[in-house]
Amino acid sequence: MDRMEIARRGEDAAAAFLERIGMTIEARNWRSASGELDIVARDGDALVFVEVKTRRSERAGTAEEAVSPAKQRRIVRLARAYLSSDAAEHDGHVRFDVVAIRVIADDRALLRHYRAAFEATP
Amino acid sequence: MTQAVVASSTIVGVDAVAVEVQVDVSTGLPAFSIVGLGDTAVLEARDRVRAALRACGFDFPSARVTVNLAPAPIRKHGTGFDLPIALGILAATGQVPRGAADAVAVGELALNGGVRPVPGLLAHAIAADRRGLPLLLSEDALSTVSAVAGVSARPLKTLSTLRAGLPDPRRADTRDANRGTDGPDLAEVHGQPAAKRALEIAAAGGLGVLFVGPPGAGKTMLARRLPGILPPLTAAEAIESAVVHSVAGLDVESLLAGERPFRAPHHTASTAGLVGGGSPPRPGEASLAHNGVLFLDEVPEFSPAALQALRQPLEDGYLTLVRAEGRVRYPARFALVAAMNPCPCGFLGDLVRPCTCPPAAIDRYRTRIGGPLMDRIDMTLRVDRIDPGCLLRQTQDEPSRSVRERVCAARERGRHRECGAPVGAGAALLRACALDAVARRAVERAARVHRLSGRGVTRLLRVARTIADLADAVRVTEEHVLEASCYRAFS
């Protein structure tokens, strides 16, 4: 499995998990000029932007650590773009979640879900 | 979502200025921002408030939270805004009952939701009382603010308490009227009758003294005993002094018990340390000595700039600092007691040990205090080392208590004569002295012998008037003037 494959399977697992806990997936891999959002979902009346991080080992740090302040700022910027695009008709709550996945075997992984993991605070 | 407004205040000088904490919780990208010219400590409230709310089982809204501290032009310092910000978020999100925010809230939050006291609570309490609002604060500070008579204090141990609304008003148990000061007693100083007399006059007239003498003569010992012979602080004075200490983050218990402050800054003190300053501005030693005694030991060793900065408070009784962020005014009405050696080696004029200083060094040493400051010291006298025999003899010296009685009586006479006003200058002082022809000649002679300036003559008359008050005399006579002129030995 190459890196793209790992990432794709991680996002599949995250999306499946989010649907199981009652969220509806609104978009996946939404792209704009400056990057892409992994998952956009709805949780009740809130719009949730989910960043998925998958790691095979923790040699380079944990998956959670990979969502650095710079990365958070990029996601916030993308979220703003999403909200102002045609894709979204939303003026309610917004939330940023992180799903961290640690692969321990080819068919086994640990998944952690952080609700409201960060904010758009400048 | 909605908005909420919580009253709070911030310290400017020694006053608490009203600040309105406006909280807006709205939809949009989740964010938590604080605007309104707060310093770093104010901005760090974000992390403390978030943790404290969660620790107490409240919801931190995943929404756009904007906090504005109004009026925006005043710079806000410190951690006291934690509590009003948290309360505002709870009120805006409907997590506390209506009315829970109807108070002036001042307090720092611990990460576990505990409410901690902040410096200056006494000033906040006075401001809350003036605004006619209750004060929501840490339970740990209850005994301090209970000294402010009118304030309705609502003590809080943790944020969780707010679930039930604003806590009930409470007052700390009134402390024992422990008005007898337990400070050092004048009876412990053997001999030195002239110096003790000078202290008594200084206490009765609120005058400044300079003791000049060799090391080990007892200058410091004497100075420490001045607060003990001053009348106890009145309730109003105690609050005034306690507010300054509270703003500086110091203990106020002894002041509220009526004990006068005694401040003895080391001679390495900076100008800011002595008269106040820094960012945020803090009161200096001169203000901490308000209504008490400022003792400057080894006064020529102080930096000349720091000493000269004392001229304004000695004249006016307050200090004005002008800084980039504005102008603050600190009260600083204190009795100045200074001590110095007669020369760098300390033994000039000693009866036993010879002085080893070159004359030029002595001149240089003396001029370090500077004429203008010397002119503002009312009494100067020499304190010499006492005979060892006197030190070892079991004599009973007069205790501070009985000296204080005389001081209080003299002050009472002065107040009666001046209808409450302090001994002034010029015509009012001359009228108060009611000199006869003989006394007038004595004043003229003293002025010529000591080459007194106009201010020097005023000081001489003021000392003479105080001596007459101690003697319960209506008029200042030649005898009083002659004694007063003894205390101008170095000018």
Q: Do A121 and B28 touch (CB under 8 A)?
A: no
- Which CATH number do you get for residue A48? 3.40.1350.10
ipTM above 0.85, yes or no: no
Cα–Cα distance for residue pair A104/A86, rounded to 1 Å? 40
Taking 80 as the threshold, does the pLDDT of residue A91 lie above it? no
The minimum CA-CA distance between A46 and chain B, rounded to whole Å, is 9
Is a pLDDT exceeding 50 seen at residue A52? Answer: yes
Q: What is the pLDDT of residue B3?
A: 93
Q: What is the pLDDT along chain B (491 residues), one digit of tens a residue?
A: 589 999 999 999 999 999 999 999 988 788 899 999 999 999 999 999 999 999 999 999 888 899 999 999 888 999 999 999 999 999 999 999 988 889 999 999 999 999 999 999 999 999 999 999 999 999 999 988 888 878 889 999 999 999 999 999 988 776 555 555 567 888 888 888 899 999 999 999 888 899 998 888 889 899 999 999 999 898 899 999 999 999 999 989 888 888 899 999 999 999 999 999 888 889 999 999 999 999 999 999 899 888 889 988 988 889 998 887 778 899 999 989 999 988 888 888 877 888 888 888 888 888 888 777 777 788 999 888 887 777 777 677 888 999 999 999 998 888 887 654 455 667 778 888 888 889 999 999 988 988 888 888 888 898 999 999 999 888 899 999 999 988 886 64
Distance from CA of B49 to the nearest CA of A (A): 15
First to last CA, chain B: 74
- Closest chain A residue to B46, measured at CA: A121
Alpha carbon separation from B421 to A8, A40, B239, B405, B432 (Å, rounded): 87, 77, 21, 21, 12
Q: Nearest CA to CA, how far is B46 from chain A (Å)?
A: 10
Q: Which two tokens stand for residue A68?
A: 């650095």
DSSP A43-99: ETTEEEEEEEEEES-STT--TGGGS-HHHHHHHHHHHHHHHHSTT----SBEEEEEE
pLDDT of residue B330: 94
Chain B nearest-CA distance from A92, in A, is 5
The pLDDT of residue B491: 47
Give the domain extent around A71: 3-118
Q: Is the dihedral of CA B266, B271, B275, B276 positive or negative?
A: negative
Of the partner residues B27, B29, B46, the one whose CB lies closest to the CB of residue A120? B29
Please indicate whether residue A87 or residue B336 has the higher confidence score (pLDDT).
Answer: B336
Radius of gyration of chain A (CA): 14
Closest by CA to B47, choosing from B64, B60, B30, is B60
Q: Chain A interface, mutation test: which of B29, B32, B49, most A Cβ atoms within 10 Å? A: B29
Query: Tokens at residue B251, please?
Result: 């203990």
pLDDT of residue B56: 96
Cβ contact B113:B55 at 8 Å? yes
Which residues of chain A does B27 touch, with a Cβ-Cβ cutoff of 8 Å?
91-94
Residues of B in contact with A80 (CB under 8 A): 29
CB-CB neighbors (< 8 A) of B54 in chain A: none
Q: CB atoms < 10 A from the CB of A28, how many?
A: 17
Nearest to B32 among A46, A95, A121 (CB): A121
User: What are the CA-CA distances from residue B396 to residues B190, B192, B203, B391, B405 (Å)?
Assistant: 8, 13, 22, 11, 18
**Which segments of B177-288 does DSSP mark as H helices, in order?**
193-205, 219-224, 226-229, 235-247, 253-256, 271-275, 285-288
pLDDT band at A87 (very low <50, low <70, confident <90, very high): low
Residue pairs spanning A and B at CB distance below 8 A: 35
Q: Which residues of B touch A88 (CB under 8 A)?
A: none
Q: How many domains does chain A have?
A: 1
Give me the pLDDT at residue A57, please.
79
Q: How far apart are CA A16 and CA A37, in angstroms?
A: 17
- Residue A121 contacts B, CB cutoff 8 Å: yes
Determine whether the interchain pair A93/B27 forms a contact, defined as Cβ–Cβ distance below 8 Å: yes
Q: What are the angstrom distances between the C-alpha of B34 and each of A44, B12, B23, B76, B117?
A: 29, 20, 9, 12, 21
CA distance linking residue B347 with residue B19, whole number of Å: 58
Judged by CB atoms within 8 Å, which residues 32-91 of A form the interface with B?
A: 46, 76, 79-80, 83, 91
Rounded Cα–Cα distance for residues A113 and A101 (Å): 9
Residue A78, pLDDT > 90, answer yes
Residue B147 CA to residue B353 CA, distance in Å, equals 53
How far, in whole angstroms, is CA B488 from its chain's centroid? 28
Going B68 to B71 to B75 to B79, the CA torsion angle's sign is: negative
Q: Is A18 on the interface with B (CB under 8 A)?
A: no
* Banded model confidence at residue A29, pLDDT cuts 50, 70, 90: very high
In this prediction, residue B403 carries a pLDDT of 92
CB–CB of B443/B436 below 8 Å?
no
Longest Cα–Cα distance of chain B, Å, equals 88
The reply to whether residue A121 touches residue B46, judged by beta carbons under 8 angstroms, is yes
